[in-house]
Amino acid sequence: MLRLSLLLLLLPCSSYSMLLGWVESPGYPMRYLPHASLNWSRCAPKGQTISIRLIHLDLENSQDCENDAVKILSNGNRIAVLCGKKEYEELQDIVNPLLFSSPGGCLTLLFHSDYSNTKRHTGFKGFYTLQDFNECEDDPNNECTQFCHNFIGGYRCSCRHGYHLAQDKHTCTVNCAKDLSGLKRGDISSPSWPESYAEHANCKYTLSVEENLQLELHFSEGFDVEQRPDGHCVDELRIETHSETLGPFCGNKPPPSPLLTYSSHVQIHFTSDGFGTNKGFNLNFKTRDKVCRSVVTSNSKVTPLKQEYHRGESVTVTCDLGYEVNSEENEAILTQYETTCQSTGVWAPSYPCEIVDCGLPYIGANSILQVVDGQNTKYNSQIKFYCSSEYYTLDGNDTYTCNANGEWTSVDGNAGMPKCNEVCGMPETDPTTTGRILGGSKAKPGEIPWQLLIKSPKRGGASLINDQWAVTAAHVVEGIRADFLELYGGLIDGQSANISPIRITKIITHPSYSTAPPSKTQTNFDNDIALIKFTSKVKLGPNLLPVCLPEVNRGVSENEQGTVSGWGATIVNDRERIKTKFLQYVHIPVYSLAECMNTPYTPSNEAMTFTNNMFCAGGEGMDSCHGDSGGPFVSPFLSSGGPHYLIGIVSWGSNCLEGAGKGKKKGYYTKVDNYVNWIKKTINEN
């Protein structure tokens, strides 16, 4: 009975306290052994706390309690580390007031002893209790704005007379929501006007009248809504219409009076915080006929310009520069329209002025487009064009801007998009030695990258003029179906098996080229030119590049030096004719017109025809030969540097093998500058 009485004296005085149990060290009260330990933990329900009150503590004393110790934690955070011997009064006054959990939290006690005790220590003993947490007194964040009432496990809030609890069950506010729809006159004021308005007010006043009327607000003197020193509103008044929000208003300066809302439906909002003694506001509302405002739509202006317009008045709406009328009725870009003020205070018709969008432009082949302003293609945005590889060059400006007409224009104001054209006539390696087709040395890779080889059905040559077209002699491809033609590019070894043929989709011979009847030898090679179109674009590279076309009517000059190339026949030991395996080339001069007109005869003693569409060239022991037909004659000659132009196509000539490669040779070539217009027109149409 004496022990129980002592325990009751130790309990706290709270009427909500109740004893839950004891906690003590292993072996208490005799002694605890070395390497003893205890891990104890309890948790409190919501709205309550758990505490430990030690009545005895006798442990080995050590520096920072590193030997034997009791550690007490609240929700994992250490609140006490104890060791040594403490008297009962010290425990009660200093230690025990610290040993409690947070509301709804957990309390943990950890005890351990080391390997030895030099003296006998009895350990510790305490009891733990569960107590109600008084949120009203001990929790400054209980959220009740007026009255707080505590109960076991929680609390509740209540309000003074004239207030009610909001939905959060903590905030006391006033009931100041009013629907005044249908009234054409009246007064609205903050709660308790002209006395200080209530804290935590959240008022909404609704006004609604006929569509042809508008509400106007007249504020009385004494406007007083709490405002911070920096001008920002603490409490605020806002006025919302169907099209805009006016405010917030605060301080001592009322809104302009009368305040024209231009609307038949208005909501007035007033909110306050939990502090302050300001008076608030008072206003009188009434109605008047609606008028139209001077702004029909954004990004535009109206003419004639007035502050307001009455029913039946019309204006012209003109969109700002770079904006257009968004009307589904018109596909073309419009920048202005007529509109009329209606009795309801709105303009009809009314179309928005939206920023002009040029859209993504057409990107030609081999072009890369970069939008400078992210993905924005609207007025004043910029785009840049690049070519896809070093083997193309940009024809036109690289930077374009979206103008007010919805068109992309270059920085110098020119319309139209740039193109990526093939780099032509610029081999990466020019020959440094002079070879010969008749017994000459072979070309190196990349020296004549426009040279193409026709293997079948007839052996001949062709020249690459862009990434999808080649030009050759008409007599090389006459009567041949496109899918039967074997055409190769990017090689110097004519017998290479590592390169696939270029697929052909179309062969177009010049319409004025004519062949001889089957029973006669052909003596007229006028207009000996044809175009070859590939199924798809070839990939350009150092060994496959186009040659340049000459200017129209460029002409060919006597003694002009050029280079002719091909896989035609060559001479071995000055007498034997063979088909060369490797690409050959030779530099030869152009002959005079008189020399060219002195044409050879056929075996049947018929003179060959020379026309203005031809020229001839050759040299001592140097000329094109059998199998070179359709191949290129370029100027300037290769070792002189580029760009190189295709001025001739190997067409016909004297017997290049007569005289075993000795003496003056003469070959005839189609004069390409006479056909540049036909070439470009044919390519554009096909």
Instruction: Please check whether residue 161 is in contact with residue 49, taking contact to mean a CB–CB distance below 8 angstroms.
Output: no
CA 627, chain centre distance (Å):
56
Query: What are the b/e assignments for 475-487, b being 16+ CB within 10 Å?
Result: bbbeebebeebeb
Alpha-carbon distance 103 to 373, whole Å?
57
Which residue shows structure tokens 């030695």?
Answer: 433
Task: Provide the pairing of β-strand 178-179 with 202-208.
Answer: parallel
Residue 257 tokens, joined: 């009076």
Task: Identify the CA nearest to 246 among candidates 232, 234, 262.
Answer: 262
Beta bridge partners of 227: 233
Q: Which amino acid is at 655?
A: N
Tell me the torsion sign for CA atoms 409, 410, 415, 421: negative
Catalytic residue among 430, 528, 623, 628, which? 528
Which residue shows structure tokens 């409690």?
Answer: 100
Q: Is 398 annotated as catalytic?
A: no
Instruction: Please check whether residue 17 is in contact with residue 131, taking contact to mean a CB–CB distance below 8 angstroms.
Output: yes
Q: Is 150 labeled as ligand-binding?
A: yes
Catalytic residue among 51, 101, 565, 629, which? 629
Alpha-carbon distance 404 to 400, whole Å?
13
Query: CA–CA distance from 200 to each of 209, 501, 622 (Å)?
Result: 30, 86, 107
Alpha-carbon distance 289 to 155, whole Å?
55
Q: Is 179 annotated as catalytic?
A: no
C-alpha triplet 221, 222, 224: angle, nearest 5°:
135
> How crowded is the C-beta side of 613, counted as CA atoms within 13 Å?
19
CA R_g for the chain: 51
Catalytic residue among 56, 121, 200, 475, which? 475
Q: Is 574 annotated as catalytic?
A: no
Q: Is 68 labeled as ligand-binding?
A: yes
Which residue shows structure tokens 């060994």?
Answer: 543
Beta bridge partners of 587: 563
Query: CA–CA distance from 651 to each of 100, 103, 473, 615, 683 (Å)?
Result: 110, 105, 6, 10, 22
C-alpha triplet 307, 221, 286: angle, nearest 5°:
50
Query: CA–CA distance from 657 to each of 14, 461, 464, 634, 669 (Å)?
Result: 129, 19, 28, 23, 18
Residue 574 tokens, joined: 């000055």
> Which class for 74: exposed (0-12), middle (13-18), buried (19 or more C-beta within 10 A)?
buried
C-alpha triplet 336, 339, 345: angle, nearest 5°:
135
Residue 422 tokens, joined: 């093939």
Tell me the torsion sign for CA atoms 132, 138, 142, 146: positive
Q: Is 273 labeled as ligand-binding?
A: yes
Beta bridge partners of 77: 74
Q: Is 154 labeled as ligand-binding?
A: yes
Give me the phi and psi of 477, to 5 degrees please.
-115, 5
Q: Is 135 labeled as ligand-binding?
A: yes
Alpha-carbon distance 294 to 315, whole Å?
9
Point out the residues that are catalytic.
475, 528, 629
From the annotation, which residues make up the binding site for Ca(2+)? Answer: 60, 68, 114, 116, 132, 135, 150, 154, 226, 235, 273
